[in-house]
Amino acid sequence: MKRRLKSQLKSQMKMIYEAPVPQGKEAFLQKIERMEKEEWRQEEELSCWKVLGIQIGYIRKWNWLVSVLFFAAVIVAEQSVKGRTLWGLSAFVPYLALMVVAEGLRSTRYRMEELELASRFSVKYILLARLGALGLFQLCLLLLLMPFLYTIRREAILEIGIHILLPWLSTVFVMFLMIRKMHGRESHSLCVGTAVIVSGACMTFGIMNVSMFDLAGAGVWTLLLVSGAVLAGREVYQFIRQSEELQWN
Amino acid sequence: MRNFWMLTKYEYKKIFQKKMVWVMFVVLSGICFLMSSVTYFATFTKEVDGKEEKMSGYQWMTRIREEDKELAGTSIDEAFLSRLKENPDSVGGKITDTVGMMQMEQYDVQSLTEQSLYEKRLANVQKEWEIYHLNKEEKEYFQKLEDTITKPFIYEPTGGYDKATRMMMVSALLQTLLAAVCIPAIFGDEHSLKTDQLTLCTNLGKRTLYGVKIFTGLSFSVITSMLLCLVSALPSLIVEGTEGFGAPIQLTQPDVSFALTVGQVFLMMFGMCVLAGVLHGAVAMFLSEKLKNPAAPMAIIVGFLIVTFFVNVPEQYRVLSQLWDYVPQNVTSWGLLNVRMVPAFGEYLYKWQVVPVLWLTISVAVTVLGYQFYKRYQVTGR
Amino acid sequence: MELIIDRLKKQYGSKIAVDRISRKLTPGVYGLLGANGAGKTTLMRMLCGILKPTGGSVSLDGFDVSSEEYRKALGYLPQDFGYYPNFTGKDFLMYMAALKGLDKNSAKKRCRELLNLVGLESVAGKKVKTYSGGMKQRLGIAQALLNRPKLLILDEPTAGLDPKERVRFRDLIAELGERNIVILSTHIVLDIEHIADRILMMKDGQLIFDGTPYEVGGDLEHFYLEQFGEVE
């Protein structure tokens, strides 16, 4: 009842009071458009560094957590457990590398590539953020481990460095090489296989109590380490460069 | 039944269509082969008849094998020790390794007598009883076993069995990795690729489908286990020989009190590796069905494997350390013949008797439990 | 504003997917019709700069397709796109906004606007993996509009939408087409009939028709089938 009365009142009022003719409508609409454009210009003020920073925020939290936990676990293990720990470290490190690669391949895995490729800040920035940030973080942790282990163990720093860095670098190199040469699920599963193979080889040397210097001299290992670093860096660079071309190009 | 084998064929096809399976199998086999045969390809400089001679590991082992054959039947007694003291270089083969292992920490031939040698050996054996915190009854039991061992030891060539047995710990480790990567996909891929919507509509029923997948996974595990063990063992057996199957285990592991032969231990280790494959296969399939994911089981199994590298339960926690001892990696890496026993029905069961029963029971249990999850699975929420 | 497509070509081995298409497009709605495998998606991907052409060029107001300025003005909805499963609808839009260079505050405001526009405000906090097909499609449309694009490319945008949603979508596109260039490909002829200012028909990589709905002269579906030889 009340509603009917209200609507009746409304229509009566409309008949009695006519709305005035709009004045300056065009100017007002243009003003709004100009304001929109200004807002748009403000919205554009986002540098690529800021974008990189935003992308780092999208890296999954557990990637950081696992890396930190690994670092902490090594410190605890070294205090309490002796024995095959160096080879054990070498066996775990390829999985850290796998985490970095998996983070970089998330776009492909979840079929977001097309959307990300067509964006203003393209896939290159996403990959730089994911691979660069997480990769560098892990590398820093590994480098920090070296002096720590050197103070506790009797092995030389070179030996420790090779045990920690060479499996990581070689896994990164092989995985990115495979991703570039092959596409799709096959390359993803081969990445997993690579990490497992490198890890398996390290575990094998560990259980057989083989010293790395039984296998080759210090010079050879140093050369392998340097080559690993160069090749891994090169493959990552090529991967980022290639990512801008769509996989079915 | 025909459908069962047809479906099994397709399950195998799904596994072998993945490049990763082939790459992993070939590379891991390569690692097994290399670890067991790299010493045969290496070159050594050895002193032979007062002269330094360069020879390959293969040539060296062939020579050792010949010397071992000549030493067959030699009693490790006072006469032999005198000969060893007089002219150590006149004694070849692996017999000096046996004497060295009997002494353990201090290898010292000059002050050795037959009595002191066997006393040192017994002391090492009893030390192990202390390390493992054996109780009085267990010590008496092992003392009785000790009394049955013929002394002095009569040396026999042990061929390549010792090395082949040791190398199988490598194949067991690598088979675990192979199983962790290849087997979860049998169940996990159906969910991740969303083919479960199609396969679960089969008119053969879920039970048959589950049976096919379990059979495929377990048979794959067993076959790969056997192949990797053979790849590890064959180089040693070919180069160092297969004689000595019946040689007492004390010749290669002097601190063992069991009345076993080298060949029996080799076969036991082979069996353990295969059973470990079965266990890993069953657990991998169970986890992949429970978690609906092929990646998570791999992470769990490999993570557990790496943990065994770092974690060791002290022996004073008897039960816990004994359970930890039954973990496949700890059994296959030369932990098969330790003095841990399980009392049962007035007798003692040795590790190699308990482990197969335990592993098979766990395998069956997870398979049955996995079926319950599989049976009740509903395709929703995707 | 002008989108210039100059002798655009894409060849895979011996197969020519897009055969030297040249056009000048001005603001309006362009409906792209063609059979499966005609080359529509390939053309659209080249216009988005995510597929390198074998020959030819694309530019928008003088900016080449490979430039950042071009991508700034581009909104694209692919035919089949994925999503990060644990993202909520809002997370997804905020993420795409970051990729499109919007700062956080503007992005929040814009996301809210667009979620209202596409009718997903009530489920914005829910994970994308719980969305129905139509909801995902609407989310895709929303992300395409984040940066207020001057060039909007939509590949099968109404797939999975119910009739009510399709009408709503048509109105939105018609409004956008007044000031911007909108290219949409679809199999639903009715959608094109209602909103397209020009109709582009593709067959075997070539444009076989470029005209207004008026030039079609009546039933578009019949005309379409005639062009493809399905009807005498």
Which chain C residues are closer than 8 Å to A120 by Cβ?
Answer: 68, 71-72, 74, 99-101, 147
A1, part of any domain: no
Residues B182 and B314 occupy one common structural domain: yes
Residues B353 and B218 occupy one common structural domain: yes
Residues B144 and B190 occupy one common structural domain: no
B101, part of any domain: yes
For residue A20, what pLDDT is reported? 77
Range of the domain at C9: 1-73+149-232
CB spacing of B20 vs A77 below 8 angstroms? no
**Count of Cβ atoms closer than 10 Å to residue B10 Cβ:** 12
| Closest CA of chain C from A48, distance in Å | 8
Number of domains present in the structure of chain C: 2
A58, part of any domain: no
CB spacing of A118 vs C49 below 8 angstroms? yes
Partnered with residue C76 across adjacent β-strands are: C153
Residues B131 and B169 occupy one common structural domain: no
A43, part of any domain: no
Residue of A nearest to C13 (CA): A249
Tell me the C-alpha to C-alpha distance, in Å, between residue A109 and each of A100, A106, A120, C144.
Answer: 14, 5, 21, 21
Residue C161: closest CA among C222, C113, C120: C120
B360, part of any domain: yes
A167, part of any domain: yes
This model of the complex carries an ipTM of 0.87
Which chain A residues are closer than 8 Å to C68 by Cβ?
Answer: 120
How far is the C-alpha of B188 from the C-alpha of B196, rounded, in Å?
10
For residue A248, what pLDDT is reported? 43
Chain segment B55-95, per-residue pLDDT in tens: 888 888 888 888 888 888 888 888 888 888 887 777 777 88
For residue A249, what pLDDT is reported? 40
Rounded to an integer, the average pLDDT of B354-368 is: 96
**Count of Cβ atoms closer than 10 Å to residue B353 Cβ:** 15
Residue to substitute from B16, B17, B19, B20, interface A, most A β-carbons within 10 A: B20
- Of the residues C148, C168, C186, the one at which a domain ends: C148
How far is the C-alpha of B173 from the C-alpha of B41, rounded, in Å?
24
Helix (H) / strand (E) containing C77: strand C74-77
Residues C153 and C232 occupy one common structural domain: yes
Residue C31 phi/psi, 5° resolution?
A: -95, 125
Residues B284 and B354 occupy one common structural domain: yes
pLDDT range class, residue A200, cuts 50, 70, 90: very high
C78, part of any domain: no
Q: Is the pLDDT of residue B233 over 90?
A: yes
Residues B85 and B126 occupy one common structural domain: yes
Chain segment B278-301, per-residue pLDDT in tens: 999 999 999 999 999 888 999 999
Entry pTM: 0.80
pLDDT in tens, chain C (232 residues): 899 999 999 988 888 889 999 999 999 999 998 888 888 989 998 898 888 888 999 999 999 988 888 888 889 898 888 887 778 999 889 888 887 878 788 888 999 999 998 889 999 999 888 898 888 888 999 999 998 899 999 998 888 888 888 888 888 888 888 889 999 998 778 788 888 899 999 988 998 888 887 777 767 777 777 766 655 5
Helix (H) / strand (E) containing C21: strand C15-25
Q: Which has the minimum average pLDDT: A105-114, B13-22, C68-77, C218-227?
A: C218-227
Asked if C13 is an interface residue toward chain A (Cβ–Cβ < 8 A), one would say: no
Residues C68 and C155 occupy one common structural domain: yes
Three-state secondary structure call for residue C38: coil
Asked if C154 is an interface residue toward chain A (Cβ–Cβ < 8 A), one would say: no
Residues B287 and B337 occupy one common structural domain: yes
Radius of gyration of chain C (CA): 18
- Check residues B274 and A39 and name the one with the higher pLDDT: B274
Range of the domain at B125: 73-148
How far is the C-alpha of B172 from the C-alpha of B355, rounded, in Å?
15
Residues B119 and B243 occupy one common structural domain: no
A3, part of any domain: no
- Of the residues C148, C167, C193, the one at which a domain ends: C148
Range of the domain at A198: 63-242
| Closest CA of chain B from A226, distance in Å | 24
| Closest CA of chain A from C105, distance in Å | 9
| Closest CA of chain B from A81, distance in Å | 7
Which chain C residues are closer than 8 Å to A246 by Cβ?
Answer: 45, 50-52
Residues B139 and B168 occupy one common structural domain: no
How far is the C-alpha of B265 from the C-alpha of B262, rounded, in Å?
5
Number of domains present in the structure of chain A: 1
Residues B323 and B201 occupy one common structural domain: yes
For residue A199, what pLDDT is reported? 94
Chain segment A39-73, per-residue pLDDT in tens: 555 555 567 777 778 888 888 888 899 888 888 88
C60, part of any domain: yes
Q: At what angle do helices B295-310 and B262-291 cross, to 10 degrees?
A: 140
Asked if A122 is an interface residue toward chain C (Cβ–Cβ < 8 A), one would say: yes
Residues C215 and C231 occupy one common structural domain: yes
Residues B265 and B143 occupy one common structural domain: no
Residues C64 and C165 occupy one common structural domain: yes
B190, part of any domain: yes
CB spacing of C84 vs A106 below 8 angstroms? yes
Q: C225 is written with which tokens? A: 């089938």
DSSP for A184-245? SHHHHHHHHHHHHHHHHHHHHHHHTT--HHHHS-HHHHHHHHHHHHHHHHHHHHHHHHHTTS
Q: Is the pLDDT of residue B171 over 90?
A: yes
- Of the residues C148, C166, C185, the one at which a domain ends: C148
Residues C127 and C154 occupy one common structural domain: no
Q: Which has the minimum average pLDDT: A109-118, B17-26, B250-259?
A: A109-118
Q: At what angle do helices A185-207 and B295-310 cross, to 10 degrees?
A: 20
Residues C153 and C201 occupy one common structural domain: yes
Asked if A54 is an interface residue toward chain C (Cβ–Cβ < 8 A), one would say: yes
